Structure 1
Amino acid sequence: MDIIAFGVLADERPQLEVAFADQHAVRCLELFLNPDTAPTARGYEVVSSSVNDVLDADVLAALADGGTRMIAQRSTGYNNIDLDRARELDLTVARVSSYSPYSVAEFAWSLALALNRRTVRAAGRTREFDFRLNGLMGRDFHDRTVGVMGTGKIGTAFSRIAHGFGMRLLGWDVQENSDCLALGMEYVDKDRLFGEADLISLHVPLLPATHHIVDADALGRMKSDAILINTSRGGLIDAAALVAALRDGRLDGVGLDVYEEEAGVFFVDHSLEVMTDDTLARLMTFRNVLVTSHQAYFTRDAVGQIIDTTVRNVADYLAGRTSDNVLVRPKE
């Protein structure tokens, strides 16, 4: 059987092709799935999608009309898929429910450390043979307070690293995690976490209840020299409110690996174009803001696990099996 995969990154393609080689032919495309590119999938029973592909009602209808029966999403998140429409069309939808939490947790810390110690600015200076230390002073994380919003697998991995730094741990989640409690974490409400933390890292999923969980009110409660890190989902932060806070001189640093309107922007070279997203362009002007392009998961380990799970999801679909990865099951 032939499979078509959209939004395949250059470093991901060899692993994806090798993983399917003994079973199926896979056509890897760098272009993203959207209403314009959906006809490309005609004749493919299985479509593998990325987190930045658009699988709304119209795209799903076009895929179903072209013979697609299964969507194999290569990510944990699936807010880009209209699951209700998929059920109506009797499409099987599966995702990768988990992969290396260390990839994201370690990257979140790389952002935090780079911001705190002004590493990017320092490296830029030394490339110009400017070896002054003016404006590069950071602070110890040891004995300071970190607020971890979301203490699942990634949040727990992040917390273990924080514990290694000797930090005081505050946590917020719908339920307490015994592994985090064993590290000495104190679970508190959001307002207290925002008010007391020197470093805040977001590790919650994007749900209606968490959309813009970091809004103008939350930003106003934070310490003026706090560092904010988001490696989870862009919609957790009200980007316009964040710009306003930064413009007022609040926050010591902001590390964003995700952005609410990243679809069509991240993973694409726009270097020869005018950036039409005014909010993103404004964020990039602040020297204490570090933006990366949804890179946190991107390690050989995590990508390998994502691909292996995708291969299993396709095999399960063909064999009529189900698993916890399946979001929409075929009708009986």
Structure 2
Amino acid sequence: MQLAVFSSKPYDKLFLATPRATELDPAAGIEVIYHDFALSLETVPLAKGATAVCVFVNDILTEEVLESLHAMGVRAVLLRCAGYNNVDLDAASRLGIFVANVPSYSPEAVAEFAVALIQTLNRNTHRAYNRVREGNFSLDGLLGRTLHGRTVGLVGTGRIGVAFAKIMNGFGCRLLAFDPFESDEFKKYGEYTDLDTLLKESDIVSLHCPLTDKTRHIINDTTLSQMRQGAMLVNTSRGGLISTRAVIAALKRHHLGGLALDVYEGEGALFYTDHSGTIIDDDELMRLTTFHNVLVCGHQAFFTDEALREIADGTIRNLADFVHGRPCKFSLVQRDAPSPGGLKRRDSAPIRI
């Protein structure tokens, strides 16, 4: 069978190579075809001949895209990521398209990157690096604060949130968390509270929750006004959690002390490609880059050898489960033989990342 991989980069080809797929499950007979383009309504024809497609965070699988895939014989969608807000799961269930993600790859990779962003902003190492390269060894403007004893608020305590909590606990921070689904593991390091209290008491707020209808723009004018004067905001989860317009306003009035983004709500048209030779017409993103207390990275928190290996292995195993009709642990729309469509959307478990 053929697997069409969209939004593929050289590192995807390295880790998702056919020999690796054969090694994981020889009986599946998987042939991998790579496409550099993102999957969209315009690029759907590239999936012709494939039984399954493999997509990433910025591929868009609307109802119309899924219907086109189904008409060409595609019966499985494999997400090489944890989030699935870019897939219309209801449409996939109606069409009988199997959907599975990889929710448990190296949570430490993302957690460690969030800490790296915090320390970079907090101690101004990005500014110091540029100064020294120009022969400027002055310390003026580089004053930071000790993390020990500061209050850190986590919005979301899934696998990544807990990994982040362990690290910040090691710094000697007080940890608060907000999550409708409490984690016993997190309770070893901090305490749960409501969102209002977390925002009011935290020196640093770090987002580790999925993007859903309820969490979209969870950081907005109202919630930003509840944050402490000079607090830092970090997002390594999904760009849509933050209203960009609102954070720009909070930065301009000096209420928000620092902003670190590895994700951006308008990243789909920009991230993972080189735009250094073109004009970027996203005014809000360009405005963010003018603040000295803002860091913007290109959605790279997951980008470690260990995480890519786990993503590749998990993706191929999900596909092998589909091919052989086995129960798939990470299916979002899964097999349910008695049902007319043959597939059933999984809604019982809370969303964890």
| TM, length-normalised to structure 2 | 0.91
Show CA shifts across 1:296-328 (max 9, x none).
111111111111111111111110112231112
Q: Is the 8 A contact 2:328 2:334 kept in 1?
A: no
| Aligned-pair CA distance for 1:58 | 1.7
- Residue 31 of structure 1 aligns to a residue whose secondary structure is coil
2:180 to 162, 168, 174: 174
- Residue 16 of structure 2 aligns to a residue whose secondary structure is helix
Q: Is the 8 A contact 2:322 2:328 kept in 1?
A: no
- Alignment-derived partner of residue 242 in structure 1: 247
In the alignment, the residues of structure 1 paired with residue 191 and residue 71 of structure 2 have an alpha-carbon distance, to the nearest angstrom, of 52
In the alignment, the residues of structure 2 paired with residue 323 and residue 24 of structure 1 have an alpha-carbon distance, to the nearest angstrom, of 17
- Residue 260 of structure 2 aligns to a residue whose secondary structure is strand
- Alignment-derived partner of residue 4 in structure 1: 4
Show CA shifts across 1:256-278 (max 9, x none).
01111211211111112221221
Which is further off, 103-112 or 125-134? Answer: 125-134
- Residue 133 of structure 1 aligns to a residue whose secondary structure is coil
- Residue 178 of structure 1 aligns to a residue whose secondary structure is coil
In the alignment, the residues of structure 1 paired with residue 111 and residue 14 of structure 2 have an alpha-carbon distance, to the nearest angstrom, of 25
Count of aligned pairs:
331
| Aligned-pair CA distance for 1:75 | 1.0
- Amino acid in the other structure paired with 2:268: A
**Unpaired segments of 5 or more residues in structure 1?**
none
1:303 aligns to 2:294 (yes or no): no
Q: Is the 8 A contact 1:16 1:307 kept in 2?
A: yes
| TM, length-normalised to structure 1 | 0.96
2:106 to 71, 81, 100: 100
Q: Is the 8 A contact 1:142 1:167 kept in 2?
A: yes
Q: For the structure 1 residues 327 and 179, does the alpha-carbon distance in structure 2 shift closer, same or farther, using more than 3 Å as the test?
A: closer
- Alignment-derived partner of residue 292 in structure 2: 287
| Aligned-pair CA distance for 1:21 | 4.2
- Alignment-derived partner of residue 268 in structure 1: 273
- Alignment-derived partner of residue 25 in structure 1: 31
- Amino acid in the other structure paired with 1:20: A
| Aligned-pair CA distance for 1:214 | 1.0
- Alignment-derived partner of residue 214 in structure 1: 219
1:72 aligns to 2:70 (yes or no): no
1:320 to 325, 343, 347: 325
| Aligned-pair CA distance for 1:61 | 1.7
Show CA shifts across 1:63-115 (max 9, x none).
12222111111111111111122122221111112211101100000000000
- Alignment-derived partner of residue 136 in structure 2: 130
In the alignment, the residues of structure 2 paired with residue 250 and residue 273 of structure 1 have an alpha-carbon distance, to the nearest angstrom, of 33
- Alignment-derived partner of residue 112 in structure 1: 118
Q: Is the 8 A contact 1:97 1:324 kept in 2?
A: no
In the alignment, the residues of structure 1 paired with residue 257 and residue 291 of structure 2 have an alpha-carbon distance, to the nearest angstrom, of 11
- Amino acid in the other structure paired with 2:284: T
Q: Is the 8 A contact 1:55 1:81 kept in 2?
A: yes
1:145 to 127, 147, 151: 151
- Amino acid in the other structure paired with 1:93: V
- Residue 267 of structure 2 aligns to a residue whose secondary structure is coil
Which is further off, 105-114 or 321-330? Answer: 321-330
Q: Is the 8 A contact 1:34 1:54 kept in 2?
A: yes
In the alignment, the residues of structure 2 paired with residue 60 and residue 182 of structure 1 have an alpha-carbon distance, to the nearest angstrom, of 43
In the alignment, the residues of structure 2 paired with residue 70 and residue 176 of structure 1 have an alpha-carbon distance, to the nearest angstrom, of 32
Q: Is the 8 A contact 1:41 1:47 kept in 2?
A: yes
1:196 aligns to 2:198 (yes or no): no
Q: For the structure 1 residues 80 and 135, does the alpha-carbon distance in structure 2 shift closer, same or farther, using more than 3 Å as the test?
A: same
Show CA shifts across 1:102-143 (max 9, x none).
011000000000000111111111111111111111010001
- Alignment-derived partner of residue 226 in structure 1: 231
| Aligned-pair CA distance for 1:31 | 1.4
- Residue 270 of structure 2 aligns to a residue whose secondary structure is coil
**Unpaired segments of 5 or more residues in structure 2?**
24-28, 336-340, 343-353
Instruction: Give the fraction of aligned pairs with identical amino acids, expressed as a percent.
Output: 45
Q: Is the 8 A contact 1:258 1:294 kept in 2?
A: yes
Structure 1 residue runs of 4 or more that deviate by more than 3 Å after TM superposition: none
Q: Is the 8 A contact 2:169 2:175 kept in 1?
A: yes
- Amino acid in the other structure paired with 1:45: T
- Residue 252 of structure 1 aligns to a residue whose secondary structure is strand
